[in-house]
Amino acid sequence: MKIVVAGTGYVGLVTGVCLAERGGHHIVCVDVNSEKISMLKSGISPIYEDGLEELIKKNNDLNRIEFTSDFESAYGDADAVFIAVGTPERSDGSANLDYLKSAAKTIAENAKKDILVIIKSTVPIGTNEQIEKYINKHKKENIRIEVASNPEFLAQGSAVRDTFEATRIVIGVESEWAKEILLDIYKNFDNHKLVTNRNSAEMIKYASNDFLALKISYMNDIANLCEIVGADIEDVALGMSFDNRIGSNFLNAGVGYGGSCFPKDTKALHWLSNSNGYELKTIKAAIEVNEIQKLKLAKKSSDFVESFNNLKVAILGLTYKPGTDDLREAPSIVNIRYLLERGAKVVAFDPVGIDNAKKIFGDTIAYVNDIDSAILDAEMCFIMTEWEVIKNYDVSNYKKLMKRPLVFDGRNCYKISEMKDNGIEYYSIGR
């Protein structure tokens, strides 16, 4: 089969490259951004993702994958097309489907034979059906076009591994024809496959992401209570984790969840629910807890200084989690804004996120390439991302290099006793 993947963002690119790597079909990745396409043609990945670039090069060389901006020829004789464009958040919390509709329209206008359109993007329940009607209204040929849902569950930083080792491949279809095509596409993937209807597939994606967000907010809520009653969230989480009904993942309290999925998907499901006349109280609470948690340490820090004006503050970690250069919805952003509004001089360190941080903060903050330079003469330090280089840092340097060794750790990177022994004023989460 000839399979086209529309959109070369995290989801589209990783999907296309992993399908090519497993073999069996010819893959064509299309994107409106011709700059990205020429990078990909020469084997360069536009995103930082472990193992991805090697696979792009290898499958390019083997002619198992092509990259193009020529939609007409890409869709003309395709058997299936994955849509993996963004569905960003609107200001009211709902999902913006403009990119999806535009991709759907281009497919409708260019497809010349029967084609299965597979939506990978996270979309509100009912969207697959809506897009199917929309495409059929705009199609130019008398061909069969159906839409199927195939949500993705990959996390940034481990996207390639998550795709190959997917815990499940969810296939949401309304016909045997669509089901057979999707099973054929994934014939070389030995992962658990769940076939259901489209609305359920769409819901599985939101319900999974929102459950994880809920789990994190629950742990952050409990962590805040731990501080008040004198318990230690690290031990509490460990104690909970032995119960395999709870599991050991996503129990880390911190400065809240960020990224391109949880913040958007919690708000989108809450909005969708409200617009159907039902309030999802649990998800509303998860969103509220997260908003408060993001600024928890910055607010606490104001008790330690008369004023932030001209105070040198170090920020260690800018990305929303380790292993990615992405800052979308990162807790660091609201914290830096909070500090800048109060006149602080912010110096930031991140192993890979600085280029993206510059797009947000420009020259309003200073950027350095190592921890020593960030904390030198600083009067306060915030840890926003648990990068290994930060966790393995020699903590005695906080005392040696900072003007005042005052560390607010939003990711519980260090042992309290170690910080105390080194004469550091240390505040973390839930301990």
For the bound state, the minimum distance from the C-beta of residue 11 to ligand UDX, rounded and expressed in Å, comes to 8
End-to-end CA distance of the chain: 55
For the bound state, the minimum distance from the C-beta of residue 328 to ligand UDX, rounded and expressed in Å, comes to 9
Determine whether the annotation assigns residue 31 to a binding site.
yes
Q: Sign of the CA dihedral 345, 351, 357, 359?
A: positive
d(CA 264, CA 209): 10
State which residue, 308 or 387, has the beta carbon closest to ligand UDX: 387
Determine whether the annotation assigns residue 308 to a binding site.
no
Token readout for 129 is 């059906």
Return all residues near 28 (Cβ < 8 A) that are at least 6 apart: 2, 3, 4, 5, 65, 66, 67, 68, 74, 78
Largest CA distance in the chain: 76
261 is catalytic: yes
Report which of 75, 261, 9, 241 is spatially closest to residue 153, judged by C-alpha positions.
261
State which residue, 15 or 156, has the beta carbon closest to ligand UDX: 156
For the bound state, the minimum distance from the C-beta of residue 209 to ligand UDX, rounded and expressed in Å, comes to 6
Determine whether the annotation assigns residue 8 to a binding site.
no
Q: Please give the residue ranges that form the binding site for ligand UDX (CB under 6 A).
A: 152-156, 209, 212, 216, 250-252, 254, 257-259, 261-262, 320-321
Token readout for 249 is 């993942």
Determine whether the annotation assigns residue 253 to a binding site.
yes
For the bound state, the minimum distance from the C-beta of residue 219 to ligand UDX, rounded and expressed in Å, comes to 7
Catalytic residue among 29, 261, 381, 413: 261
Return all residues near 25 (Cβ < 8 A) that are at least 6 apart: 1, 2, 3, 19, 185
Q: Which residues are bridge partners to 381 per DSSP? A: 314, 407
Determine whether the annotation assigns residue 63 to a binding site.
no
C-alpha distances in Å from residue 150, one per residue of 74, 155, 384: 21, 16, 33
Report which of 209, 129, 213 is spatially closest to residue 173, judged by C-alpha positions.
129
Determine whether the annotation assigns residue 328 to a binding site.
yes
For the chain, how many residues are written? 431
For the bound state, the minimum distance from the C-beta of residue 289 to ligand UDX, rounded and expressed in Å, comes to 11
Query: Which residues define the annotated binding site for NAD(+)?
Result: 31, 36, 87, 122, 264, 328
Annotated catalytic residues are: 261
Binding residues are 31, 36, 87, 122, 205, 250-254, 258, 264, 321, 328
